[in-house]
């Protein structure tokens, strides 16, 4: 077990906080968007789908730069949020969370959308004939059946958010204690002589967290798969 | 709401691709069989009555209540119709136990109307031993019995059964047929029963309607209708 310096602990704790905030904030939006994409047809659906998946293929530095332009203190959305609610993203950990949320959103969305698409819609019809209105049907039938996929999406989002680097450093820079997450800390180590050991320690942490997350999401999707196949 | 059996009256036209359904019939108290070969439009009629499908034009009444009237833009959504629907493949909620499945409709109907006593339904359908199991651990016949109980316990004004014995082998059929006869004779809920099996129809029906290619071919006493129809 390697021993971490206080600065490294700060970076690890900050990373976890940023990733948790990013996951929690994206989850309701991803559930809504996943349901809409799986079930509704509306004009501009293909465009919306493309926009939501854009962070997957754009260079992260471009996403970060776009965030800086729109959510920075001078940007249209950033200025509005600061003037109206006093919320600021620039060079703060909340900005790192926003960048991570945007970058990992497509992963979460894909898992959630797929789990909605796999649900037999006649189960929802059955709930309707039994007297459940559409909102109740969603809450007691659709959502619980999609839950394994939603959990998988949340875990993947969390793991991806922990590792996000390009958009975060472009949007909110690399300030120890405020925006320096594990990847940014590793980057800093590699920029100074003698930083190899520290970089290696933090790389090991990243590796461990990512691996645990992947194993957990795989186990969850296996469980979900087993249940649906038994049902057929 | 009186307890007297409420007949259903259907005058509907709907076009689905190359198939056109255009029917006009009333069901009598007791058990009315909708008889015809596959593709005759039997399931479509049940979906129209349950509110899972909208007719292009037409009118459906349950007793004195109009549930669909296209000319006046009336469409009562499925969850306000109080019509029990038994699917051919049961469609039990896989994430709920048998007890929770059959309590589902009961809970939503609790203010609308008095339910049949749970013990009576559980007794007639002999599902007392299954209450704590999940649907994945039930046989086909057991699933269908639970599905019947679930539909009966939502305080329905009309019970629709879509080939409830269709997916079962002969042994399971002969186990469930007497139960349906008991329901017909002991429970004062009119039943509309879809089948393409002549023997099943003759055994259960108090009234029969023969369908072919989206049209009513004959309606009346089972002996006459089922002999005259060339289907089955």
ipTM: 0.87
More confident residue, B174 or B111: B174
pLDDT in tens, A152-207: 899 989 999 998 999 999 999 998 888 999 999 999 999 999 889 999 999 999 99
Lowest mean pLDDT among A130-139, A212-221, B77-86: A212-221
Superfamily of domain B8-228 in the CATH hierarchy: P-loop containing nucleotide triphosphate hydrolases (3.40.50.300)
Other residues' Cβ atoms within 10 Å of the Cβ of residue A38: 17
**Given this model, what pLDDT does residue A225 score?**
62
B133-156: average pLDDT: 91
**Statement: residue B101 has pLDDT above 90:** yes
Find, in chain A, the residue whose alpha carbon is nearest to that of B149. Answer: A130
Find, in chain A, the residue whose alpha carbon is nearest to that of B151. Answer: A130
**Given this model, what pLDDT does residue A231 score?**
40
**Statement: residue B150 has pLDDT above 80:** yes
The set of residues, in sequence order, having a beta carbon less than 8 Å from that of A124 and lying 6+ positions away, is: A137, A141, A142
Record the tokens describing residue B76, joined without a space. Answer: 């009562």
A96-123: average pLDDT: 94
By the 8 A CB rule, do B119 and B150 touch?
Answer: no
**Given this model, what pLDDT does residue A85 score?**
87
Task: Find the CB nearest A231 among B78, B87, B94.
Answer: B94
**Given this model, what pLDDT does residue A209 score?**
87
Beta partners for residue B75, in sequence order: B68
**Statement: residue A232 has pLDDT above 50:** no
End-to-end CA distance of chain B: 38
Residues present in chain B in total = 232
The set of residues, in sequence order, having a beta carbon less than 8 Å from that of A72 and lying 6+ positions away, is: A78, A89, A90, A171
By the 8 A CB rule, do B96 and B172 touch?
Answer: no
Other residues' Cβ atoms within 10 Å of the Cβ of residue B77: 11
A54 in B contact zone (CB under 8 Å): no
- pTM greater than 0.90 (yes/no): no
A44 in B contact zone (CB under 8 Å): no
Looking at CA atoms only, how far is residue A193 from chain B in angstroms? 57
For residue B79, list chain A residues with Cβ-Cβ distance below 8 A.
Answer: 128-134, 137
Beta-carbon contacts below 8 Å between A and B: 72
Structural domain boundaries in chain B = 8-228
**Statement: residue B6 has pLDDT above 80:** no
Record the tokens describing residue A207, joined without a space. Answer: 């590796």
């Amino acid at each position: 077990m390697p021993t971490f310096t206080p600065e490294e602990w700060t970076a690890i704790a900050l990373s976890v906080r940023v990733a948790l905030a990013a996951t929690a904030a994206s989850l309701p939006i991803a559930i809504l968007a996943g349901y809409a994409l799986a079930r509704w047809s509306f004009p501009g659906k293909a465009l919306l789908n493309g926009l939501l998946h854009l962070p997957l293929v754009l260079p992260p530095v471009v996403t970060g730069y776009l965030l800086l332009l729109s959510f920075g203190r001078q940007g249209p959305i950033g200025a509005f949020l600061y003037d109206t609610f006093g919320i600021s993203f620039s060079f703060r950990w909340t900005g790192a969370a926003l960048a991570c949320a945007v970058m990992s959103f497509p992963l979460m969305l894909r898992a959630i959308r797929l789990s909605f698409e796999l649900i037999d819609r006649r189960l929802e019809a059955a709930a309707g004939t039994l007297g459940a209105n559409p909102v109740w049907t969603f809450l007691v039938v659709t959502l619980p059946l999609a839950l394994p996929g939603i959990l998988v999406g949340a875990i993947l989002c969390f793991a991806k958010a922990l590792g996000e680097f390009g958009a975060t450093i472009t949007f909110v820079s690399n300030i120890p204690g405020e925006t320096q997450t594990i990847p940014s800390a590793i980057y800093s180590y590699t920029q100074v002589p003698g930083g190899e050991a520290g970089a290696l320690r933090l790389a090991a942490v990243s590796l461990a967290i990512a691996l645990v997350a992947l194993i957990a999401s795989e186990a969850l999707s296996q469980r979900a798969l087993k249940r649906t196949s038994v049902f057929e | 709401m009186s307890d007297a059996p409420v007949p259903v009256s259907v005058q509907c036209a709907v076009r689905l691709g190359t198939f056109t359904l255009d029917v006009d019939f009333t069901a009598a108290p007791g058990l009315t069989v909708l008889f015809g070969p596959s593709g005759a439009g039997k399931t479509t009629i049940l979906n129209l009555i349950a509110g899972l499908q909208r007719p292009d034009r037409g009118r459906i009444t349950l007793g004195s209540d109009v549930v669909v009237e296209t000319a006046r833009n009336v469409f009562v959504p499925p969850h306000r119709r109080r019509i029990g629907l038994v699917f051919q493949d049961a469609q039990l909620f896989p994430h709920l136990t048998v007890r929770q499945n059959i309590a589902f409709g009961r809970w939503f109907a609790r203010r609308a109307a008095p339910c049949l006593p749970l013990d009576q339904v559980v007794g007639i359908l002999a599902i007392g031993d299954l209450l704590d199991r999940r649907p994945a651990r039930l046989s086909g016949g057991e699933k269908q019995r639970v599905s019947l109980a679930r539909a009966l316990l939502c305080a329905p004004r009309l019970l629709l059964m879509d080939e409830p014995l269709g997916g079962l082998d002969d042994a399971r059929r002969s186990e469930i047929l007497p139960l349906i006869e008991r329901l017909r004779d002991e429970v004062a809920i009119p039943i509309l029963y879809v089948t393409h099996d002549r023997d099943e129809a003759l055994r259960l029906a108090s009234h029969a309607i023969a369908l072919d290619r989206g049209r009513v071919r004959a309606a009346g006493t089972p002996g006459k209708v089922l002999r005259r129809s060339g289907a089955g």
